[in-house]
């Protein structure tokens, strides 16, 4: 991840340097009318890119919200426990799915299953 960020930074820096030097060279050697037209074209492309990025962002946000709603509906499908109830009771989702936990975290859950759940939670870095 750090390597990628480094190379992205290098790429951005090189791009800025090349664009600035290119503008200087163009202003120095090209006729003024050509430079002005190139700048107008670049500004037009910038506006188009902003429009495209905005539309993409809006579409992505809408699709993400739709998919989140689908996943939430699937998670809360009939016969499945409400995740908030599971969290409030202190049960792990795996214990509830297996149908071995009812009143408390250790109620009816064999020791090996409890150890497996603890290992999964430690590996994931969070618990349900």
Q: Which residue has the higher pLDDT, 36 or 14?
A: 14
Tokens of 83: 């995740």
pLDDT of residue 81: 66
d(C-alpha 98, C-alpha 14), whole Å = 56
Would the pLDDT of 10 be above 80?
yes
Residue 20: pLDDT over 70: yes
CA-CA-CA-CA dihedral for 79, 82, 86, 87, to nearest 10? 160
For residue range 74-89, what is the model confidence (pLDDT) as tens digits? 877 766 666 677 677 7
Residue 48: pLDDT over 80: yes
Provide the total of helices (H) and of strands (E) in the chain, helices listed first.
5, 0
pLDDT tier, 38 (very low <50, low <70, confident <90, very high otherwise): confident
Asked whether residue 103 carries a pLDDT value surpassing 50, the answer given is no
Separation CA 37–CA 32 (nearest Å): 9
3-state secondary structure of 107: coil
């Amino acid at each position: 991840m750090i390597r990628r960020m480094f190379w992205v930074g290098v790429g951005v820096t090189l791009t800025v340097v090349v664009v600035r030097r290119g503008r200087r060279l163009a202003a120095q050697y090209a006729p003024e009318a050509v430079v002005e037209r190139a700048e107008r074209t670049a500004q037009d492309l910038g506006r188009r890119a902003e429009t495209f990025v905005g539309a993409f962002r809006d579409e992505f946000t809408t699709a993400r919200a739709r998919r989140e709603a689908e996943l939430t509906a699937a998670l809360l499908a009939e016969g499945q426990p409400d995740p908030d109830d599971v969290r409030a009771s202190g049960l792990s989702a795996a214990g509830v799915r297996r149908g071995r936990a009812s009143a408390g975290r250790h109620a009816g859950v064999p020791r090996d299953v409890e150890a497996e759940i603890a290992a999964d939670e430690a590996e994931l870095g969070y618990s349900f």
